Amino acid sequence: MKRVISAACLVLALGVIIALLAKRDSTTARLSPARDASLLFLGVTNLPTGSFAMFCLSNCTRAHIACVPEALELVSAGAWVRTPLTGSASHAVRDWIGVKEDLRPGEAFTFLVPPPTTSGAWRLVFMCQEQAQVIDPVTDTVRHLTDAKSRETQIRQFSGRRYYASSPEVAQ
């Protein structure tokens, strides 16, 4: 009888310890800070059309994000000089190969960029914006039903947190 009680107490204590450890691990994971997307330079490759710098953009967040090439930065006199890649300057992005517009959580893509014609160091900057959570599903549904453009194109709205991802310096 004494052995049965001892065994039951041991099993109960082991169960409590496992439950406490499981709770602690899930709390730690839940409270960890959100990471941003990362933009990495992988190297240079040659294609029949010329030399290209290879980059990888990874979504390290828990949110679906939209990614837009924001700028090309060149070193000039020891400082980074930004050349925008949006608006009328977006024609430079047409020569890029494999750029995606959005990434789901944990997704990544590799893309190729022709290097700038200057001989100095350079880097890329992407603007990333998270898809906002639906706060008011009724208003969102009404807006979707009454907005003709939204019905036609099934637009996804990215109006959440906005941040910028910069690549490491690329030396030529």
pLDDT by residue (tens digit) across 79-127?
Answer: 999 999 987 777 788 889 999 989 999 999 999 999 998 888 999 999 9
Per-domain residue ranges for the chain? 1-32, 38-166
SS3 7: helix
37 sits in the region (left: phi over 0; alpha: psi -120 to 50; else beta) called beta
Query: Is the pTM value of this prediction over 0.85?
Result: no
pLDDT by residue (tens digit) across 132-159?
Answer: 766 566 666 666 666 655 545 445 666 7
> What are the b/e assignments for 115-125, b being 16+ CB within 10 Å?
eeeeeeebbbb
